[in-house]
Structure 1
Amino acid sequence: MELKIRRTSTIVEERFVEAGRDADLPLRKVAVVAIIENPYLGRYVEDLSPLINASPALGAQMAKPAMAAMAPYGVQSYGKGGLVGTAGEQEHANALLTTVFANPFRDAIGRADAWISSMTKVVAPGTPIDIPMNCIEDVYVRSHYDGMTLMLPDAPMPDEIALIFCLANRGRINARVGGMTYDEAVKRRKD
């Protein structure tokens, strides 16, 4: 199956101050979005493996602009999500967002092993979604529990699926709830 991409976008947010304190390193969050035509529109399909099998190529295509936007900093956390138009099913986004979709992002990052948080739902155009994010090294790095809220004003239309992958260059600004640090997670992975 070949997925029909209708449009893509890359959203970049940089945060320099939090709670009145300047960040030692700005927090850059990037979301790359692909709006595709839903091939299973308005009907139940038992076998969704064609979506799963088509998703790595889409992931590879989306990873390029995402990594370009993160190039000045590198990547320390990630998350993924999907919005399905009202004529589709939530399961359509879940089939597209499996591990094989995310592997091109992991390959581009070069060392991302941790489980990737995700969120999917069926929505009308313009419905916000919170994409949860966690550390690429270890899901238990508390400073990197974060997210990115997105609202796509004209998507997804009833016959579309919006796939989203988010990246960040660091944990939250002023994170101070303890637990494993990012550096400890990197060392643990190397040992």
Structure 2
Amino acid sequence: MIHLVEEERSREGIKADPPLRKAVVAAVIHNPYAGRYHADLSEGVEFSVGLGRIMGEMALETLGEPILSYGKGGIAGIDGSQEHAVMFLSTAFANPLRQAMGGGVAWMSSATIVAVAGTPITLPLAHKDALYVRDNYDAITLHPGDAPRPDEVLVAVAVANRGRPNARMGGLAASDVEGVDGLR
């Protein structure tokens, strides 16, 4: 497992109160489909259910405070395909992930790529209950070192405790979120 935490205490000379904390939890998994085409990826999707729960618990623990923004992503090693990263990030993964992190009704944005070991991936972040909260549009970049190898998939979850410091682009305020439809 990979754990990354970033904390930003000020931006543009203005104190961030509270500080913006972003965290990433990533798992590196053997890709049973590497090297050949498979039409049915359901075994990987089924595996992702338990993975989502575990990674949600770890993301909450790593951030150390309530989660307000989330996102996900994956890197398939070069013997895999982009679909192999996507299979671990479907709704089957995301629903138990959300539950373990304390809820969330908004669609969880994601990024997936095929790359050599050590390729960085930038994970998108958005408000967990309302995509129209522009202040929470953000990202965090993971530099995974020696992963994924050609027959592996790196699965990552990104979380944050708040929106961007000094955000001023308008849109729905976090304090006005209804949290019913995932948009408002």
Structure 1 length-normalised TM:
0.91
Instruction: Please say if residues 137 and 182 of structure 1, whose CA atoms lie closer than 8 Å, have aligned partners that are also in contact.
Output: no
Aligned match of 1:108: 100
Measured in 2, the distance between the counterparts of 1:161 and 1:39 equals: 10
Matched residue, 2:69:
77
RMSD over equivalenced CA pairs, Å: 1.5
1:69 positional shift: 1.8
Where in structure 1 do 4 or more consecutive aligned residues deviate above 4 Å?
none
TM-fit CA distance, 1:188? 5.6
User: For 1:22, which of 15, 19, 24 is the aligned residue?
Assistant: 15
Could you tell me how far apart the structure 1 residues matched to 2:23 and 2:13 are?
Answer: 23
> Cα distance 1:127–1:112, how it changes in 2: closer, same or farther (>3 A)?
same
Asked if the contact 2:117/2:149 (under 8 Å) is kept, the reply is: yes
Unaligned runs of 5+ in 2: none
| Aligned residues with identical type, % of pairs | 45
- Of 28, 33, 39 in structure 2, the residue corresponding to residue 40 of structure 1 is 33
Q: CA–CA distance in 2 between the matches of 1:29 and 1:109?
A: 14
Who is 2:173 aligned against? 181
Alignment match of 2:51 (pick from 58, 64, 68): 58
Q: Secondary structure at the match of 2:66?
A: coil
Please say if 1:96 is aligned against 2:103: no
* CA distance, structure 2, for counterparts of residue 162 and residue 117 of structure 1: 16
Unaligned runs of 5+ in 1: 1-7
Task: Give SS of 1:155's match.
Answer: coil
Q: Is the 8 A contact 1:80 1:164 kept in 2?
A: yes
The separation in 2 between residues aligned to 1:120 and 1:51, in whole angstroms, is 15
Q: Residue type of the partner of 1:21?
A: I
Residue 103 of structure 1: how far off its partner (Å): 1.4
